[in-house]
Amino acid sequence: MSEIKLLKTIKELPPDDKYEFAPGHRLCAGCAIPILVKITLKVIPDPKVIVNATGCLEVATTIYPYTSWNVPWVHNAFENAAATASGIEAAFKIFEKKYGKKKPHIIVFAGDGGTFDIGIQALSGALERGHDFVYICYDNNAYMNTGIQRSSATPRGARTTTSPAGEVIPGKPERSKDLIAIAVAHGIEYAATANPAYPIDLANKLIKADAVEGPAVIHYFSPCPTGWYFDPSLSIKIAKLAVETGVWPLYEVENGKYKINSPSLKYLKSPKPLEEYLKLQGRFKHLLKPENKWMLDLYKQDIEYQWTLLKRLTGIG
């Protein structure tokens, strides 16, 4: 990892004077993706190239003949953002070697569908080959762009249009995947979770991810008012509650070493009750009914499982 300077306060974030991500995009009110994009473009220095998988961010920012992007931006298809980025990175690397041309920072944005499901193979291949890019998964817990279908990132019990809250099966019956563990299994130098309610933590993780030579993965919690059924003004509150209740641990893995970050450490001993997080979202409403307690219990076990693993890996608790 090269020399880096981390931020201490939000005031140290560079001003948004370059409009690299221009206003006027069509992402929903309350969507947490623009927060991620703006912070990413602010902290990762120029020159840079964005690769975007098919998904909410792609469709809402490049409706021809308009574009929100004042940086080079490439969309190829749904499942191949990591492969496309591999090709771009390889080309710039050889240009640097052959012609001394400066290699840009390569940043990939993909949703959970494009990462956990259809794009997992391309991502795994790219991580194994060690291409130098920052891969950011904005995880809104389902296929939101196509209308809220379950993905392998959807939490257990959540209601989606393909895992409805039925009389027999109340929500998604399966647990979600552990993306960071999958990424770390490739022996990459840096992987971390992030959350829009903690912008300094997010910014510093992006800086660290960008500094490694090789691939780095950021898994970003992205509240979705449209798909989670909550008032758009509550996005950051829900994001914060996800950390405070332990649903979304903030942690990072540097060269295989796991570290729980301070926002999550604060709630390690006494997390807020999960119900505080659930009750604000329509997608979990059915889990609070007594007859669906069994599903809620399974979801709680999933969260417990993740924490057991994290505690063991970090040597805490």
Partner 1 sequence: MKVVKMKRIGLTGDSAVAFAAKQANVDVISAYPITPQTIIVEVLSEFVHNGELDAAFIPVESEHSALSAAVGASLAGARVFTATASQGLALMYEILYIAASLRAPIVMALGNRAFSAPINIHCSHDDAYAARDTGWIQLFSENPQEAYDLTLQAFKIAEDKRVLLPTIVNLDGFIVTHCFEGLDVFEDDEVPNFLPPREPVYQIDPDNPITYGPLAFFDYYMEIKRQQAEAIKNSYPVIKEVLNEFSKFSGRTYTPIKTYGMEDAEVAIVVLGSTAGTARYVAKELRKEGKKVGVVSLVVYRPFPVDELVDILKSVKVAAVLDRSYSFGSPGGQLYMDISAALYNESERPLLFNVIYGLGGRDMTISNLKSIFEKALEYAEKGKIEKKELWVGVRE
Confirm or reject binding of residue 92 to partner 1 (CB under 8 A).
yes
Which residues contact residue 315 at a Cβ distance below 8 angstroms, ignoring those fewer than 6 apart? none
CA 164 to chain centre: 24
In this chain, which of 32, 35, 39, 83 binds partner 1, going by CB under 8 A? Answer: 83
Q: How far is the CB of 98 from partner 1 (least distance, A)?
A: 6
7, 59, 207, 309: residue in contact with partner 1 (rule CB under 8 A): 59
Rank residues 46 and 297 by Cβ distance to partner 1 and give the closer one. Answer: 46
Q: Alpha-carbon torsion 26, 29, 30, 35, what sign?
A: positive
Give the span between the Cα atoms of 25 and 27, in whole angstroms. Answer: 6
Of 95-103, 206-214, 236-244, 257-265: span binding partner 1 (CB under 8 A): 95-103
Is residue 70 part of the contact set for partner 1 (CB under 8 A)?
yes
Range 285-305 burial, b when 16+ CB lie within 10 A, else e: bbbeeeebeebbebbbebbee
Q: For the stretch 193-232, what's the b/e string if a residue is b when 16 or more beta carbons lie within 10 angstroms of its beta carbon?
A: bbbbbbbbbbbbbbbbbbbbebbbbbbbbbbbbbbbebee
What residues from 36 to 55 belong to the interface with partner 1 (CB under 8 A)?
A: 46-49, 51
Least distance from C-beta 130 to partner 1, angstroms? 11
The structure tokens listed for 165 are: 């809250």
Pick from 196, 183, 185, 173: nearest CA to 250: 196
Which of 38, 125, 300, 309 binds partner 1 (CB under 8 A)? It is: 125
Contact 241, 230 (CB under 8 A): no
Answer yes or no: are the C-beta atoms of 119 and 86 closer than 8 Å.
no
**Tokens at residue 227, please?**
């798909």
CB of 71 to partner 1, least distance (A): 5
Residue 138 beta carbon to partner 1: minimum distance, rounded to whole angstroms: 18
145 binds partner 1 (CB under 8 A): no
Does 266 contact partner 1 by CB under 8 A? no
Beta strand pairing status for 48-52 and 105-111? Answer: parallel
Residue nearer to partner 1 on the CB measure, 59 or 181: 59
Q: How far is the CB of 162 from partner 1 (least distance, A)?
A: 22
Q: Does 171 bind partner 1 (CB under 8 A)?
A: no
Q: Which of 75, 172, 205, 240 is close enough to bind partner 1 by CB under 8 A?
A: 75
User: Residues 30, 104, 114, 170: which binds partner 1 (CB under 8 A)?
Assistant: 104
Minimum distance of partner 1 from residue 55's CB (angstroms):
11
Question: By three-state DSSP, how is residue 146 classified?
Answer: coil
Residues that bind partner 1 (CB under 8 A): 46-49, 51, 58-59, 62-65, 67, 69-77, 79-80, 82-95, 97-98, 104, 121-122, 124-126, 128-129
